[in-house]
Amino acid sequence: MRPSVHISLKVRDLGRSVGFYERFFGEPVKLKVDYAKFVTMDPEIHLALEPGLEMDSRTSALSHLGIRVGTSDDVERWRADLGGRGLIVEEPKRSECCYALQDKFWLTDPDGNRWEIYTVLGDAESMAPSETSACCPQ
C-alpha cells in the first residue's frame, strides 16, 4: 500500500461541510449523523469530518491544507473543475511562497479552512514576497 494523507477536521455544521466537500471531492465513502469520510485517489486523501468546532471559535491550530499538482495547466484544470461544481475559487496567481515559486489558487470551506491547489515552479530565496505579506493567507 502506498502512503496517503489523512486529515481530520472538527466542523461547526456537518451538513454544510459535507455539501462543500461533496462538490470538492465527490460523494463521501461513509456518512453518519456524526461523521463523514471522503477518500480521493488522485491525490490520495482521506478526509474525516466530525462535529465539534465551537460556533464562536475563530481560531485554529491549522494553517491551511493543500493539494500539489504537477503543472500550471493542472492548477487551471482544478480551478475550472471546482468552479464548475459551484465552489467559490479565487483567481490563480503566481507567487513566491514557502521558499518556492508557485502557481496556485485558494478556496475556503464553511469553517474557514483554507485550501490551496498549487504547483511548484522552482526554488525561491524567501518565505514570502515581503515581511508584511503572508504567502498563505488566512
Q: Which domains does the chain have, with CATH numbers?
A: 1-52 (3.10.180.10), 64-132 (3.10.180.10)
CA distance 132 to 138: 14
Q: Are 39 and 45 in contact (CB under 8 A)?
A: yes
Return the number of other C-beta atoms located less than 10 Å from residue 89's C-beta: 19
Decide the pairing of beta strands 93-97 and 100-108. Answer: antiparallel
pTM recorded for the entire structure: 0.78
Over the chain (138 residues), the average pLDDT of each successive run of 10 is 82 95 96 94 92 70 85 96 96 85 94 92 74 52
Give residue 6's pLDDT. 87
Q: In what order do the strands lie in the sheet with 93-97?
A: 65-68, 114-123, 100-108, 93-97
For the chain, count helices (H), then strands (E). Answer: 2, 8
CA distance 98 to 64: 13
